[in-house]
């Protein structure tokens, strides 16, 4: 797990309405997004931040204003964007920690932070969660081949590589699947009341 010192722990959304907030009621992606939009200082980002959530983590990624040095080369623009990201990270650290603690208490998920600036994205914190799986020999052989070839350091690393590759190459399908899940959740939320 990579985190900043003392900072609690990445746009398609994964809505996990099965997770209960501190109040005992279900927290939805809209509720989480609304809370962050209302809680974040208005001068931090140029637009509403992207909010990604799953059962364990909420990731907040905001867009910073791109620096535009007159007559600058591409290298200078990239360096200026990296400098703006670093300044934002340092200047907002205390407030981000405070907001993350409030959100973690309210939504019972860790909070990760990141920004984009002039085409550069940097995540400041991320949460790595162990996931157990059972694989038959043919699947284990795929992982072992990736390890022997030097693509991955371990079976765990090879499995993470496979998941990333699938995500990158199946974006359209995953987007349709997420949309269908949101529709199911809407219908479920409109179900009969127990009154």
Q: Which pLDDT tens digit goes with each residue over 27-37?
A: 588 899 999 99
Checking if the pLDDT of 6 tops 50, the result is: no
Residue 133 contacts residue 159 (beta carbons within 8 Å): yes
Most confident of 28-32, 37-41, 77-81: 37-41
pLDDT 10s digits, 92-143? 999 999 999 999 999 999 999 999 998 889 998 878 888 888 889 989 999 9
* Residue 81, pLDDT score: 92
Q: Give the residue ranges of DSSP H helices in the chain.
A: 29-39, 74-107, 137-148, 155-169, 171-189
pLDDT the model gives residue 103: 95
pLDDT value of position 73: 84
C-beta neighbour count of 17 within 10 angstroms: 18
Tokens in use for 67?
């620096």
Q: What is the pLDDT of residue 125?
A: 80
**Buried/exposed 85-102: b ≥16 CB within 10 Å, e otherwise:** beebbeebbeebbebbee
Over residues 29-56, the mean pLDDT reads 92
Residue 195's pLDDT is 57
Tens digits of residue pLDDT in 133-181? 888 998 999 999 999 999 999 999 999 999 888 888 888 888 888 888 8
SS3 per residue for 100-149? HHHHHHHHCCEEEEEEEECCEEEECCCCCCCCCCCCCHHHHHHHHHHHHC
pTM of the full predicted structure? 0.65
Nearest residue to 29 via CA among 194, 192, 179, 191: 179
pLDDT reported for residue 27: 59
For residue 56, give the nearest of 102, 3, 95, 112 by alpha carbon: 112
């Amino acid at each position: 797990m990579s985190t900043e010192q003392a900072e609690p722990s990445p746009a398609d959304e994964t809505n996990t309405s099965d997770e209960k907030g501190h109040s005992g009621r279900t927290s939805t992606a809209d509720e989480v997004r609304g809370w962050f939009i209302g809680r974040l200082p208005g001068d931090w980002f140029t637009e509403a931040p992207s909010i990604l959530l799953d059962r364990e983590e909420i990731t907040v990624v905001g867009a910073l204003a791109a620096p535009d040095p007159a007559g600058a080369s591409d290298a200078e623009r990239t360096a200026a964007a990296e400098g703006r990201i670093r300044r934002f990270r340092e200047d907002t650290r205390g407030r981000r920690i405070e907001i993350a603690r409030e959100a973690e208490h309210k939504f019972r998920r860790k909070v990760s932070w990141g920004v984009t600036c002039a085409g550069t994205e940097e995540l400041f914190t991320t949460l790595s969660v162990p996931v157990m799986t059972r694989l038959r020999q043919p699947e284990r052989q795929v992982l072992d081949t990736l390890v022997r070839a030097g693509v991955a350091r371990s079976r765990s690393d090879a499995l993470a590589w496979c998941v990333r590759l699938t995500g990158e190459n199946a974006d359209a399908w995953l987007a349709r699947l997420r949309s269908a899940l949101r529709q199911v959740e809407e219908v479920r939320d409109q179900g009969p009341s127990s009154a």
